[in-house]
Chains A and B, each alone.
Chain A
């Protein structure tokens, strides 16, 4: 019987594609590895306790003493505030889309609008936010930065949640409706519980976009060497700190830029791991 493999065209195509996929995968992995290696190897030597525990002293940008505590705390305040605000607005939108609009014309219209918003560069959000702030007489501040970051994060968060909520098993929704739940009760008590891990991933995705963005906070949050103590203070951020330090002509300050990047990377990593832990805990009861 002719069970032996004869190399036909489709076998060759399969072999080629397998290698193309493998190469793509290795390429991405190598990029990630190289980025991490650069950040760690260049940043680690300059990463001192002073760097993360002090604000910049006079002459910090010339290579004298001080640290980037202003930017670390500024970034955390901005990204956490922005993400919190985006969740407060975004989760209801996502639930509304799934519970009531579904695939209606309005639903489609809102999804397309969100996709367009997602594609707008962050500098445009920054410029738009700043012009609105000027119009209402607001100065660069933590609050301004938080609001603009929330706007920047909203489209990606809502669309990611929307995709997650579409995976909600209809039969499970029906099980709750069958005992006399309203649609809202199903959304808040069953859907959110069941899809918690996906919702957390969506929030994390948006947080990642928010904390790494420099352009949107450039005007709206401004930059300062002080740690903000109120919402009306301007706030520094890590991406801008990296930018300012990298653009000085002094090698030791440039080294500190890498250390700042390392700090940012570690924050993002810690938040990812933390939320993964949280998501495992919270989805203990999810129906598989």
Chain B
């Protein structure tokens, strides 16, 4: 497998309780990997260890390695802002920044000094709003507050904001859970179209969504990876009893 992310002996503790137990994984490049499992199984914790969000909680301790292209992102000489630039996150609820629609996309570009001059900014903003499927809806009101958009539009804006800083990996933490069915479908479609250029990892507890999106599946239970494999393997021929149980709706 051509893996983009490799996890080795990853353990995460919240205070005294262990949220992730000795995780070993590989995540394939340019595919959609879905992490699924019942609530509280550590899916989100695992996802947040990929962009070092896990350390924002001061009570957290972490050991082991997360390698992106062979580089351990927890190594001492790693710049965490570069990690988060390379690995974007689409969160559960959209949180646009307190600025205009245009500035939401331009902010990251400016922060990372990626573009110069109004023209370059205008082009980049238009391009990423188009990729996120939002351009036609907002092109006449780019300078209105981001909060004037609907929740579904806000989530696509957040996607455009994340894509603008040219990440290689996109993480999605139940990115459709706050959205209506049509907006959810929209986001799913965009994710499908993005996988040719990006490695995508999505956490979901919706089995049907997992089946629609996944090329590769990781099934977790109680802080451990029970089974991981291609979508075909997991959905059609699961090996572990727990996976079978989960897929048949037992818990």
Contact = CB atoms under 8 A, between A and B. Distances in A.
Interface of A: 102, 169, 171-172, 174-182, 185, 189-190, 193-194, 284-288
A182 B108 CA distance: 12
B85 interface: yes
Contact of A287 (B56, B147, B161): B147
Contact of A179 (B93, B147, B162): B162
Interface of B: 51, 53, 56, 58, 81-85, 88-89, 91, 93, 95-100, 107-108, 111-112, 145-147, 158, 161-162, 165
B89 A178 contact: yes
Contacts of A193: 98-99
Nearest to B96: A287
Given A180-B84, A182-B81, A175 B158 contact: yes
A169 to B, nearest CB: 7
15 contacts: A174-B91, A175-B91, A175-B96, A175-B158, A177-B53, A178-B88, A178-B89, A178-B91, A179-B108, A179-B165, A180-B81, A180-B165, A182-B81, A190-B98, A288-B147
A288 B83 CA distance: 29
A256 B112 CA distance: 60
A185 B111 contact: yes
A184 to B, nearest CB: 11
Nearest to A102: B58
A178 to B, nearest CB: 4
A180 B111 CA distance: 8
Contact of B97 (A102, A176, A180): A176
A169 B85 CA distance: 22
Contacts of A171: 91, 93, 95
Given A178-B88, A287-B147, 5 more contacts: A175-B97, A178-B91, A180-B85, A194-B98, A286-B147
Contacts of B146: 285, 287
A284 B56 CA distance: 29
Nearest to A195: B98
A180 B112 contact: yes
Nearest 8 Cβ contacts at the A-B interface: A180-B85, A175-B95, A178-B89, A180-B81, A180-B84, A179-B108, A194-B98, A285-B145
